[in-house]
Chain A
Amino acid sequence: MTTATVQPGTKLWSGGKSPFNVSYGKLMMWYFLMSDAFTFGAFLISYGTIRFSQNFWADPNHVFNAFPFTGHMNLPLAFVSLMTFILILSSVTMVLAVHEGHNMNRKGVEKWMIFTILGGLAFLGCQAWEWTHLITGDHAVLVNGVVEHWGTTTTHNPWGPETMFNGHEIATPGPIAFGGYFFGITGFHGFHVFSGVVINAIMLVKTRMGHFDQRGHYEMIEKAGLYWHFVDLVWVFVFLCFYLI
């Protein structure tokens, strides 16, 4: 970390030490995360390509305007902002756990890891609610001259362009790709959050058992932290691509 101060002129590649001044495990975690960034990037770019090829795309402010326990109130972006806030908060608790690990303070690591895990679970709960709301929430759609009621799924998109029918406005089916991309990409991100929570839980147990004190360092917490921050990093772009633009 802050120990990465290399004297100018040091022969980094002469052997006997890590030329990047970082352990093998941490370096490989970085390269794994880089490859994972390409996976997410490919998904998001594919979504962008399809969206650019369509004449009409659902307005996120209409699709994502619900909040738990508020019924049909129109609250665009409110719930997803809460989810973003939870993830940022759990990111800062994670980095504080890493920091306590540097100080070899077992109690501190435990405390912040518990907060991080709770944040991850809260995020997953929010996502479960959002998915349920989208899949089960019916919307009137005009299909071949007949009014049908559709939820948002990978095969049905009730958020198409509006048209006049019997004197009032009604939506028509939208591009079918919407649900597939939304559930696919947020699902892949949610799976990362889930696996991050599992990894963090294992780290918490190992901390409690004193494994890292015996080992003399808390580097495993750092590696888990890198993964957890990556999850937050990906959410920045999922938030941007699906909810903001």
Chain B
Amino acid sequence: MPMVLAVAEVADKGLRRVSHEVTGQAHLLSEAMGGQVTALVITGSAGSVDAGELGAYGADQVLLAADQVLAAFQGDQYAEVVKAAIGQCGAAVVLFPATAAGRELAPRVAAAMDAVLASDCIAIGWQEGGVTAQKPLYAGKVIADVALSGELQIASLRPGLFPAQACRPGWSAPVTALALPPLTARAHLREVRGGDANRLDVSEADVILCGGRGMRAPENFALLEELAAMLGGAVGATRAVVDAGWRPHSEQIGQTGKVVSPSLYIMCGASGSIQHWAGMSGSRCIVAINKDPNAPIMQRADYSITGDLFEVLPALKQEIARLRG
């Protein structure tokens, strides 16, 4: 029976949402293939995560790789673990989340196993014995339908895009400890710094407040921070703002930044260049607030308000607070 391996990702608070997304897609794929799903959970300590929970999202069994060395992501050791898991479950297809870690891990495994890899896919399927996928090119200016071939086929899935709903609520999958291979490293991780566990990355946020040059000064981003906090979202930035040093590059959205697809994208004081649009046009609902009614973003947004954002944003904060009662 063909096996699909779903590689989960663990953070401080347990399994990341992307683990559910990837396991869910692995489940749909395994149904089309007439196969099964093994989920792989890699963690620093077995007790820190409920790996069996992935059963509810479609995993038929779970392999658990737990070792102190695996507490933080390290490409060398993690790749050894994934290769061992592929061997143990006999996977024909492997799905990774296209997170920062997944995007380093998947190509390492693909090269080591002589396998094809489709990166950052936005749809995935099975046709005539091979994986099919949709993959944005040029940051989404073009969408490619692709067909993979070969004995082992690998894809990474864009985070935040696929549903993370349980298909078998409450069902816990049997968990087996993976016999760990030697975890040797060519590069040595010395430290992981400054990760604010409460800070939501734009690539995972369901609401994004994005500021452009129209924010006028770095301190004015506090307005967006406050709104983001109220809406459970994250602050994003245009390239101009990042180039000016107002915001870190990790917040940059666009063709030379991150590509995002939140439910709600609120664009404040930016015109919406073609490069920026490429990074956020997949958002479900786009709101633009801009002084210039003729800015490109004002033509393309779902809702737009023409006006001074230093008047509109405080009013927005107040109105949302009222709505939330």
A and B from one complex = no
Q: Which residues of A contact B (CB under 8 A)?
A: none
